[in-house]
Chains A and B, each alone.
Chain A
Amino acid sequence: MDALSLAGLLTAISLLVSLIVWLPLASRTRIRRTEVYLSGEPQAHFSISIAEASWAVRRVLERLYSTLLNHVQTGVFNDWFALSLPYLLLLLVLLAVATYRGGV
């Protein structure tokens, strides 16, 4: 069996086992819905923006972030997708090198 077939087989087994775990639990779970408790504050005061989400990455990888922001990005979202394709290809090449066993 090759790795791809094995991944497919194990994914199918995972889905089956997840139903075995989930169905008996879901059938007996009682759900009660409440308001979100935010220390007494209105929910509008609490929102997380993408900029807040990436604060640690920006702080640690400041030079990379500023290069991306000032020299690479165009402001068009679709360009990020186009930019990501060569990086995905690079990732696949790195994976191929990491698992290279010699020979052709």
Chain B
Amino acid sequence: MEPLSAVGGVLLTVLVFPGLVFLVLLGLLSQWYRRKLAARLQNRVGPKYVGPFGVLQPFADVYKLLFVKELVTGPYTPARAITYVMSLGVAAIATSVLLLPLSPFSIGAEYDILVFIYLTLYASIAFALVGLGSVSPYPGLGGIRYTTLMLAFEPAIALSLIAAVRALAPRSLSLRDALGQPEILAPGDPYRMTVQVLVLITAGVSLSIAVLAKSMLKPFDIPEAETEVAGGYLAELSGPALGLGILLHEVEIALYVLVLSNLVIPIPPAAPDPLNILASLAKYVVVLTILVVVAYSMGRVRLDQALRLLLRIPLPLSVLSLALSFFV
């Protein structure tokens, strides 16, 4: 391949598909779906007025925040640095899709699952920095809450991802190989298949709970509750900073659900042709629906209860799945 066309392809992948533009579209559409489904579960209507069935409501919200509203900030708060940190988080998430086999220009390497974990950490660090970097104590409390939960959900996410990739691509430990050419369902080897399925189930459950915590969805979403709004790391943000915060939150959820759904349902594999992309999106919708239904059927938990829950279920499950993955 010509070097210039390769550079163009990589930029196209990162900026358009399946990168920035695609992830923003997917994230905001998922936000609408999540809000609509949650509203149905709670006997409400949900987004209704902007676009057919209110589907354009998240787009209108983010557009208004990014391009119309001004950024109101307190003294000593580095407003430009806050927007840059969140832009870097969005960019890191968009760049990490280069490791997914959804584009012909995807890049892979042995052990690239570690690179994926490293890149997606930027988003968590951005949220923690935004909360802890504010002068006001309210986002500070939100930042503390987030960093406390990070102690438990980040190791669980990392271990589950490594375990699932070990099960699907034991030779290369590459996320691209695990999603694009999974070594699964060997017909002559029922022992190996059973172990693989067990690893995927344990890693999938652990990853799902940890992703709910990372995304601050129920039951880990005290900042969403009206009376405790002071606890959110985005509490003092407005205008473009808040818009970027919402955008980062949505693209992060979209990326994790995309990876989670393609890891736990490895057939058909992810590939850059239209049918496989549609299959990947179908898996995405199934997993997102399950996550939303489970999440919105629960009540909120206190910070110490949330930490205890994360230390008791997803973390041991991720260690178990990693241990099982050695037998694949």
Chain A positions within 8 Å of B, measured between CB atoms, are 1-3, 5-7, 9-11, 13-22, 25-26, 28-36, 38, 46-48, 52-57, 59-60, 95, 98-99, 101
Instruction: Decide if B14 is an interface residue (CB 8 Å cutoff).
Output: yes
- The answer to whether A99 and B111 touch across the interface, beta carbons within 8 angstroms, is yes
B88 touches A36 (CB 8 A): no
A60 in complex: contacting residue of B84, B173, B311, CB < 8 Å: B311
- Cβ of A13 and Cβ of B83 under 8 Å apart? no
Q: How far is the CB of B34 from chain A (nearest CB, A)?
A: 24
The chain A residue with its CB closest to the CB of B149 is A56
B115 touches A3 (CB 8 A): yes
Contact yes or no, B322 A98, CB < 8 A? yes
Complexed CA–CA distance, A35 and B144 (Å): 23
Q: Which residue of A lies closest to B87 (CB)?
A: A22
Answer whether residue B275 sits at the interface, using C-beta atoms and an 8 A cutoff.
no
B residues in contact with A29, CB < 8 Å: 70-71, 79-80, 83, 239-240
Is there an interface contact between B83 and A25, defined as CB atoms closer than 8 Å? Answer: yes
A14 touches B148 (CB 8 A): no
Q: Which B residues from 167 to 185 make CB contacts under 8 A with A? A: 170-171, 173
Given the interface pairs A10-B119, A31-B79, A98-B159, the reply to whether A25 lies near B87 with Cβ below 8 Å is yes
Contacting residues, chain A, for B236 (C-beta < 8 A):
36
Segment among B51-59, B189-197, B301-309 that sits at the interface with chain A: B301-309
Smallest CB separation, A96 vs chain B (Å)? 11
- The winner among B141, B159, B244, B304 for most chain A CB atoms within 10 A is B304
Instruction: Establish whether residues A36 and B122, one from each chain, have CB atoms under 8 Å apart when the complex forms.
Output: no
Taking chain A's interface residues, is the majority helix, strand, or loop, or is none over half, making it mixed?
Answer: helix
How far, in whole Å, are A35 and B72 apart by their CA atoms in the complex?
A: 10
Choose among A11, A18, A32 the residue that contacts B73 (Cβ–Cβ < 8 A). Answer: A32
**Are A18 and B90 in contact, CB atoms less than 8 angstroms apart?**
yes
Chain B residues contacting A18 (CB-CB under 8 Å) are 84, 87-88, 90-92
Say yes or no for B237: interface residue by CB 8 A criterion. Answer: no
Chain B residues whose CB sits within 8 angstroms of the CB of A31 once the complex forms = 70-73, 79-80
- Besides the known contacts A17-B14, A35-B74, 7 further A-B residue pairs in the complex with CB atoms under 8 A apart: A3-B109, A7-B114, A14-B122, A29-B83, A32-B73, A98-B159, A98-B322
| Contact indicator A21/B107 (Cβ below 8 Å) | no
Best-buried of B96, B115, B159 by chain A (most CB within 10 Å): B115
Q: 6 closest A-B pairs (Cβ-Cβ)?
A: A17-B91, A18-B91, A22-B87, A30-B70, A3-B111, A46-B137
Q: A17-B20, A56-B148, A101-B171 are in contact. Are A2 and B109 (CB under 8 A)?
A: yes
Q: Nearest Cβ in chain A — how far from B174, in angstroms?
A: 9
With an 8 A cutoff between CB atoms, is B41 at the interface? no
Instruction: Give bound CA distance, A55 to B173, whole Å.
Output: 38
Set A14, A19, A38, A95: member contacting B95, Cβ < 8 A: A14
Residues of A within 8 A of B66 (CB): 25
A29, B308: Cα distance in complex, Å: 41
Contact yes or no, B110 A53, CB < 8 A: no
> Do A7 and B115 touch (CB < 8 A)?
yes
* B15 interfacial by beta-carbon distance below 8 Å: yes
Residue of A with least CB distance to B170 = A101
Mark out the residues of chain B between 60 and 89 whose CB falls within 8 Å of any chain A CB in the assembled complex.
Answer: 66-67, 70-75, 79-80, 83-84, 87-88
B194-252: which have CB < 8 Å to A? 236, 239-240, 244
B263 within 8 A of A: no
**From B312, which residue of chain A is reached at the shortest CB distance?**
A60
Cα distance A35–B135 in the bound complex, in angstroms:
10
**Chain A residues near B159 (CB, 8 Å)?**
98
Closest Cβ of chain A to B203, distance in Å, is 12
Task: Find chain B residues with CB under 8 A from A59 CB.
Answer: 304
Residues of A within 8 A of B20 (CB): 17, 21
Contacts of B107 in A (CB 8 A): 1, 6, 9-10
